[in-house]
Structure 1
Amino acid sequence: MSAATPFLDNTIEPDEPTVPQGTINGARTPKPRDPVVLTPTSNSNAGMATTEGDAESGIAGIFRQSAHPLALFFLFFFRIAAIAVYILCGWFTDNYVLSTVAVVVLLAMDFWNCRNVSGRTLVGLRFWNQVDDDGESYWVFESRDPSRPANPIDAKMFWIALYMFPLLWAALLIVSILKLGFAFIPIVILALVFNVTNVIGFTYADRDAKQKWANSVVGSSWGLGLGGIGGQILTGAVKKGVGRFFG
């Protein structure tokens, strides 16, 4: 063990009480044992970040700061896996049906996970299409309470994944057309349909959540004594601002 600053401020006392060296009834007493002091080894800081910036950088830092690392992991896992299988399937098999089925299954799992798990967990948003008793179809949006904002890292990574992967599939579509790989174009189009649907749904869900937040702010102004003309001015300003930026 290398000489270093003691790991603990206090020493660990011996198990047995020590007595001064001498003789008791003609027998020589043993020499007192030295106190035990714990010292760190030379590699005690191996693998540890030396600065705050190092500790919060990279993929590991993102998952450490995430409030829901498992949901964040599967959000990227299914999307990356679908693209990886699409690009690399030709290197491992010539079976077109097997490759297509594998990519489609991953795309379906990603679509379901993003809409029902990742979106609700990471940013507190959810959407679905509902048909009423009259046969009319309409969209339903859910959002978390504005007083409980989402984790900034989770929200940032979710929106990055939501908008980045449709661009990647669009690039793959262009490559397929240039290489005349028409057999794989339907797969890419299906991927774009799934990804763009989530983009549109969550974008409108986020817009709906911001509008609800603006309405709640306007409603609370009446409780703060801003009724009458002052309340009307604030109501018009907030609604106009929300309509300009989100609608």
Structure 2
Amino acid sequence: MLTDDTNEEDVSLFDAEEDAGRRSKTKNIKHPVASFFHLFFRVCAILAYFLCEHFSSNNFIGGMVTIILLLSCDFWTVKNVTGRLMVGLRWWNQVDDDGQSHWVFESRKGTKNSHVSDSESRIFWLGLIVCPVVWVIFAFSALVQMKIMWLPVVMMGVVLQAANLYGYIKCKVGGKTDLKNLATNYFGRQFLKQALSKDEES
């Protein structure tokens, strides 16, 4: 009897320690270098544009080249490295034997369990969503202020960062899912819920 009780206690303690270890793993940052470079290039590109636009208008070519290099490094890093490591997602284009081009959107199996850290996931999606919004604001600002020479640079920032955002959203919701249909279904469900709640109140 005593041995059975002690064995049950040992098993329960072991399970508790394992669960605690899993929780700590999901909260900690597993890939600090990837997390750093996920934000580094895109934040540097935004800062470089802001500083060049306001303080260094004389050296337009140098600023433009610097921003484009930073945006290109950011696009490659996020598409090929940080998405795979931080959230277990990746997307790319492949050409088959017939010469047909196909977009592939993949999600690693089991990403909701032990492979993905909650902190890294927040960092990844926050950087992925906020920075394109900043570039869209820069684009409207350049149009309003008639800064035509900066417009191609800003549009490149919008396109490159929006491409990564679109690709990873497709990976998240499923590569075969049409985002337009997904949005339509979501708003349809919301409308149905509101109609049902009104009927229940009446």
TM-score (norm 2): 0.69
Structure 2: distance between partners of 1:185 and 1:142: 33
Quick one: which amino acid aligns to residue 93 of structure 2?
N
Q: Which has the larger radius of gyration?
A: 1
Quick one: which amino acid aligns to residue 117 of structure 2?
N
Q: How many residues align?
A: 152
Match of 2:76 in 1: 112
Q: Describe the shift of the 1:123–1:209 C-alpha distance in structure 2 as closer, same or farther (beyond 3 A).
A: farther
Unaligned runs of 5+ in 1: 1-63, 212-240
Match of 1:178 in 2: 144
Deviation at 1:187, TM superposition (A): 0.5
1:84 and 2:50 are equivalent in the alignment: no
Match of 2:118 in 1: 152
Match of 1:230 in 2: none
Match of 2:97 in 1: 133
1:72 and 2:38 are equivalent in the alignment: no
The equivalences for 1:1-247 within 5 A come to 65-90=28-53, 91-92=55-56, 94-146=58-110, 147-208=113-174
Deviation at 1:89, TM superposition (A): 1.8
Q: What whole-Å deviation, never above 9, does each CA across 1:135-184 have from its counterpart, x for those lacking one?
A: 11111123222154410111111111111111000011111111111110
Q: What whole-Å deviation, never above 9, does each CA across 1:110-137 have from its counterpart, x for those lacking one?
A: 0000001110010011100111111111
Quick one: which amino acid aligns to residue 80 of structure 2?
N
Deviation at 1:88, TM superposition (A): 0.4
Counterpart secondary structure, 2:58: coil
Q: Describe the shift of the 1:65–1:178 C-alpha distance in structure 2 as closer, same or farther (beyond 3 A).
A: same
Quick one: which amino acid aligns to residue 194 of structure 1?
L
Unaligned runs of 5+ in 2: 1-26, 187-202
Quick one: which amino acid aligns to residue 179 of structure 1?
Q
Structure 2: distance between partners of 1:210 and 1:137: 15
Quick one: which amino acid aligns to residue 171 of structure 1?
I
Structure 1: distance between partners of 2:114 and 2:98: 36
Q: Describe the shift of the 1:137–1:194 C-alpha distance in structure 2 as closer, same or farther (beyond 3 A).
A: same
Structure 2: distance between partners of 1:183 and 1:93: 11
TM-score (norm 1): 0.57
- Do the aligned partners of 2:104 and 2:175 also contact (CA within 8 Å) in 1? no
- Do the aligned partners of 2:139 and 2:155 also contact (CA within 8 Å) in 1? yes
Quick one: which amino acid aligns to residue 107 of structure 2?
S
Counterpart secondary structure, 2:174: helix
Counterpart secondary structure, 1:135: coil
Deviation at 1:107, TM superposition (A): 0.2
The share of aligned pairs that are identical, in percent, is 36
Deviation at 1:244, TM superposition (A): 5.1
Q: Describe the shift of the 1:66–1:99 C-alpha distance in structure 2 as closer, same or farther (beyond 3 A).
A: same
Structure 2: distance between partners of 1:137 and 1:148: 34
Quick one: which amino acid aligns to residue 204 of structure 1?
K
Counterpart secondary structure, 2:80: helix
Root-mean-square deviation (CA), in Å? 2.3
